[in-house]
Structure 1
Amino acid sequence: MRAARCPGMCPERERCERQGQARLHRLEVATGAAVKEWRRPAAGSEAAAPDQLRPPDVLLRTVRHLVARVVPRAEPRAGVGAEPGDEVGAWAGVGTEPGDEVGAWTGAEPRAGVGAEPGDEVGAWAGAGAEPGDEVGAEPGDEVGAEPEDEVGAEPEAGVGAEPGDEVGAWTGVRDEPGDEVGAWVKAAAEPGAGVLPEPWPLVHEFVMDRLRSVRQDMVSQRLGGRPAATILEHSLRFLLCGQLWLGRPPPSPRPRHSQPGSVEAQVRECFSRLLAAYSQGRDVYENQAEFQALALLYDLGSDQALHHALQLPSHIKDSPEMQTALGINRALTEGNYVRCLRAVRSLPFVESCAVYRHIATLRHRLLRAFSHGYSCCNCRFPLQALAEILAVDTGDTAADLCRRHGQQVNGDSVCFQKSSYVEPDPDIQPAPELLELVTIKQRGRTRSSIIQGCKMPSIDR
Structure 2
Amino acid sequence: MLCGKPQDSPTMPGYELPVGTCPDMCPAAERARREEEGRLHRFEVAPGCFGKRPRADPQRAVKEYSRPAAGKARPQPSLLRPPSVLLATVRYLASEVADRTDASRAEVAGFVADRLRAVRLDLALQSAGDAESVVVLEAALAVLLAVVARFRPNAAYGPVDPVLLQAQVQEGFGSLRRCYARSAGPHPRQPFFQGLFLLYNLGSVEALHEVLQLPATLRSCPALRTALAVDAAFREGNAARLFRLLRTLPYLQSCAVQCHVGHARRRALAHLARALSTPKGQTLPLGFMVHLLALDGLEEARDLCQAHGLPLDGQDRVVFLRGHYIEEGLPPAGTCKVLVGSKLGGRTLEEVVMAEEEDEGEDRSKSQA
Using structure 1 for the length normalisation, give the TM-score.
Answer: 0.64
Q: 2:82 aligns with which of 39, 51, 55?
A: 55
Give the whole-Å Cα distance in 1 for the aligned partners of 2:67 and 2:204. 31
Task: For 1:271-420, list aligned pairs within 5 A.
Answer: 271-377=172-278, 378=280, 380-411=282-313, 412-420=315-323
Task: For 1:184-223, list aligned pairs within 5 A.
Answer: 199-200=102-103, 202=105, 204-222=108-126
CA 236–262 in structure 1, closer or farther in 2 if over 3 Å, else same: farther
CA 388–232 in structure 1, closer or farther in 2 if over 3 Å, else same: same
Partner SS state of residue 270, structure 1 = helix
Q: Deviations over 1:313-367 (max 9, x none)?
A: 2222211111111111111122221221122112211111111111111111111
Aligned to 2:23: 8
How far the C-alpha of 1:226 sits from its partner, in A, is: 0.9
Give the whole-Å Cα distance in 2 for the aligned partners of 1:407 and 1:348. 31
Aligned to 1:239: 143
Q: Deviations over 1:51-71 (max 9, x none)?
A: 322333333343344445x33
CA 343–32 in structure 1, closer or farther in 2 if over 3 Å, else same: same
Contact residue 262 and residue 332 of structure 2 kept, 8 A: no
Equivalent pairs counted in the alignment come to: 327
How far the C-alpha of 1:244 sits from its partner, in A, is: 2.9
Contact residue 4 and residue 52 of structure 1 kept, 8 A: no
Q: 1:71 aligns with which of 97, 102, 121?
A: 97
Amino acid at match of 2:351: S
Runs of 4 or more consecutive aligned structure 1 residues displaced over 6 Å after TM superposition: none
Give the whole-Å Cα distance in 2 for the aligned partners of 1:419 and 1:330. 31
CA 398–32 in structure 1, closer or farther in 2 if over 3 Å, else same: same
CA 398–55 in structure 1, closer or farther in 2 if over 3 Å, else same: closer
CA 361–44 in structure 1, closer or farther in 2 if over 3 Å, else same: same
CA 277–213 in structure 1, closer or farther in 2 if over 3 Å, else same: same
Query: Which gives a bigger RCO, structure 1 or 2 (Cα 8 Å, sep 6+)?
Result: 2
Contact residue 149 and residue 258 of structure 2 kept, 8 A: no
How far the C-alpha of 1:20 sits from its partner, in A, is: 4.2
How far the C-alpha of 1:19 sits from its partner, in A, is: 3.9
Contact residue 304 and residue 332 of structure 2 kept, 8 A: no
The answer to whether 1:18 aligns with 2:45 is no
Give the whole-Å Cα distance in 2 for the aligned partners of 1:383 and 1:438. 21
Give the whole-Å Cα distance in 2 for the aligned partners of 1:56 and 1:438. 33
Amino acid at match of 1:354: C
Give the whole-Å Cα distance in 2 for the aligned partners of 1:426 and 1:415. 21
Using structure 2 for the length normalisation, give the TM-score.
Answer: 0.78
Task: For 1:94-133, list aligned pairs within 5 A.
Answer: none
Give the whole-Å Cα distance in 2 for the aligned partners of 1:63 and 1:398. 35
Identity %: 37
CA 57–391 in structure 1, closer or farther in 2 if over 3 Å, else same: closer
Aligned to 2:325: 422
Task: For 1:124-143, list aligned pairs within 5 A.
Answer: none
Contact residue 73 and residue 199 of structure 1 kept, 8 A: no
Aligned to 1:78: none
Unmatched 5+ residue regions in structure 1?
75-197, 252-259
Q: Root-mean-square deviation (CA), in Å?
A: 2.9
Contact residue 196 and residue 256 of structure 2 kept, 8 A: yes
Aligned to 2:158: none
Contact residue 98 and residue 108 of structure 2 kept, 8 A: no
Bigger helix share = 2
Greater mean alpha carbon deviation, residues 288-297 or residues 43-52: 43-52
CA 437–261 in structure 1, closer or farther in 2 if over 3 Å, else same: closer
Q: Deviations over 1:343-397 (max 9, x none)?
A: 2112211111111111111111111111111112335322221121101102233
Amino acid at match of 1:227: A
Aligned to 1:263: 164
Unmatched 5+ residue regions in structure 2?
1-15, 48-56, 155-160
The structure with the largest alpha-carbon Rg is 1
